[in-house]
Structure formats: C-alpha cells, structure tokens
Amino acid sequence: RYIQPPEVVHKVMMALFLLLGENPQELQSWGSLKKKIQLSKAAPNSVIVRMQKFDPKSHKELQRKAEYAQANQITKGVDADDASSGSYVCRIIFEWIKVVLGLREIALLDLKEEEEEGQEEKEKDVQIPDFDLDEQEEAENKISGSADSEKGSKWQAVRSKRATMSVITTLSSAGAARQKQRRASVTLGVDSTIMGTPKPRRMSIVPGSNNGSIREEVLVP
C-alpha cells in the first residue's frame, strides 16, 4: 500500500472505481480512494469479485455515459508500460479497463445497427392504400381515351402530309408543262437588212431567266 502512489496508479484506480459506480467525489484524494481497494476475494466488497461480475454490455451500463467518458479521459495517453511502472496489479487493472471500454463501444454500435434495421422494417411495412374499383376503371378509361386521341392526331398529321405532297406534285407537273409551252418558238417578224431579202426570224423566251430574256434566231431555209 502506497502512502503517495505514482500518478499513473491513482489514475488507473480512479478510472476503475468510476466504472464500478463509486462516487467521483470520493476518488479525488488517494486517502479516501485507497479505502475502497479490497483485493481479497473474501472481502465484503471485493474489487476482484466486482470486476468478474461486471458486464459492460448490459442495458444499465449502456445507459451510463458520464462515468465512461471520465474513465476514458483519465486513462487517455496511458499505456500498459506506464501502468507496469506502478505495479503488476496496476497493469492488469488498466488492461481490464481498456477491454471494458472497448466492449461497451461495440455493444453501442450493435444497438445502433439494430435500431436502424428496425426502422427500415417499419418503413417496409407501410401499407399501400387500396383504390376504389370504379375509380380505377375510370382512370384506365381516361388513359385509353388519351391514347386513342393521340393515335388519331398522328393519323391526321400523316394524311395532311400526304395531301400536301400531292399538291406539290401537281404544281410541279403544271409548272413543267408551262415551261414547255414557253419554250415553243414564236415568230415575231422578218429581218429586212440581210441582202435586202427578208429573213424570217424566230424568237423564244430563255427558260430559267428572272428578267424574261428573249433569244433571237434567224431561220435559214
């Protein structure tokens, strides 16, 4: 028993008794803390027995937060070698503390995962409301009517396109006929300047000209 132990021993024992549920105010001084150290299994409040029965995964322990946060903070930065510098028993208790903290953290993660899975199952169980049969039939008729209307509109568009193409073909044929007529030779008079003998002349409109160009030809017998 220490009169004034190394700092690491005090830290480890404080963390231990915080996890075992002791009053934090009674752990600040070594004088009050060392009275709680009962290592013999035969002792009324044996630390060894309490450690053996301790279950960090129980519902009660999962609800405790402050004590675990304090124990974790106290032992932060301490390793097994540091604890060994105090005593062999100190190292064993330190390793037990780290195992307890780890087991509780795993239990909390498992609990969170179970809650999330339960929520997903509830969302899957949401019932889809049944539609009234008359309303469903009416909706189907509306959909069918819309489809027929759309089909009729497409057919009207095809017919209109065909009529337009027919008109274009007719106009093209008429234009070709008029062009042939315009190419027909037209006798406009005689040329009296060649050898004093009148020469018949033929003039025709040049097709494709924008200004109505006229081509003149002298007919040679």
Domain shared by 116 and 199, yes or no = no
Tokens 């009207």, located at residue: 156
39 pLDDT tier (thresholds 50, 70, 90): confident
For residues 116 and 28, membership in a common domain is answered with yes
pTM, to two decimals: 0.55
Based on the structure, what is the number of domains in the chain?
A: 2
Tell which wins on pLDDT, 213 or 195.
213
In a domain, 141, yes or no: no
Confidence band, pLDDT 50/70/90 cuts, at residue 206? very low
Structure tokens, 26 = 């009674």
Q: Strands 199-205, 186-191: parallel, antiparallel or unpaired by DSSP? A: antiparallel
Whether pLDDT at 99 is above 80: yes
Q: Which of 31, 12, 14, 34 is nearest to 23 (CA)?
A: 14
Do residues 109 and 197 both lie within one domain? no
**66-74 vs 7-19: helix axis angle to the nearest 10?**
160
Burial-class residue 38 by CB neighbours within 10 Å (0-12, 13-18, 19+).
middle
How far is residue 24's CA from residue 215's CA, in Å, rounded to a whole number?
123
Domain final position from 91, 122, 153: 122
Residue 6: partners with Cβ closer than 8 Å, 6 or more residues away: 85, 86
Q: Are residues 40 and 115 in the same domain?
A: yes
Question: Do 13 and 114 sit in the same domain of this protein?
Answer: yes
Tell whether the model's pLDDT for residue 121 goes beyond 50: yes
Q: Is residue 156 part of a domain?
A: no
Examine the domain organization and report whether 108 and 29 are in the same domain: yes
> Is 106 part of a structural domain of the chain?
yes
Domain of residue 208 covers 183-221
Which among 69, 101, 122 is the end of a domain? 122
Average pLDDT over residues 94-113: 95
What distance in Å separates the CA atoms of residue 208 and residue 88, rounded to the nearest whole number?
116
Average pLDDT over every residue of 19-32: 94
Above pLDDT 90, what percent of the chain?
A: 45
Distance CA 218, CA 221 (A): 10
Q: For residues 103 and 27, state if they share a domain.
A: yes
pLDDT score for 192: 40
User: According to the model, what pLDDT value does residue 45 have?
Assistant: 87
Residue 54: pLDDT over 90: yes
> In this structure, are 112 and 211 located in the same domain?
no
Same domain, 203 and 104: no
pLDDT > 70 fraction of the chain, expressed in percent and rounded: 55
CA distance 72 to 97: 9
**Residue 209 placed within a domain:** yes
214 within some domain: yes
Q: Is residue 170 part of a domain?
A: no
> Is the CB of residue 8 less than 8 Å from the CB of residue 86?
yes
The predicted-structure confidence for 144-195, as pLDDT tens digits, reads as follows 665 556 556 665 665 655 555 554 555 455 555 555 554 443 333 334 443 4
Q: What are phi and psi of 31, to 5 degrees?
A: -60, -45
Q: What pLDDT was estimated at residue 193?
A: 40
* Predicted confidence (pLDDT) at residue 142 exceeds the cutoff of 70: no
Cα–Cα distance between 82 and 198 in angstroms, integer?
A: 139
Of 53, 88, 122, the domain-final residue: 122
Same domain, yes or no, for 117 and 33? yes
CA 165 to chain centre: 51
Does the residue 171 lie in any domain?
no
CA distances from 61 to 53, 109, 176, 201, 213 (A): 13, 14, 102, 125, 110
Structure tokens at 1: 């028993």
| Cβ-contact 92, 111 below 8 angstroms | no
Q: Which of 70, 67, 68 is nearest to 103 (CA)?
A: 68
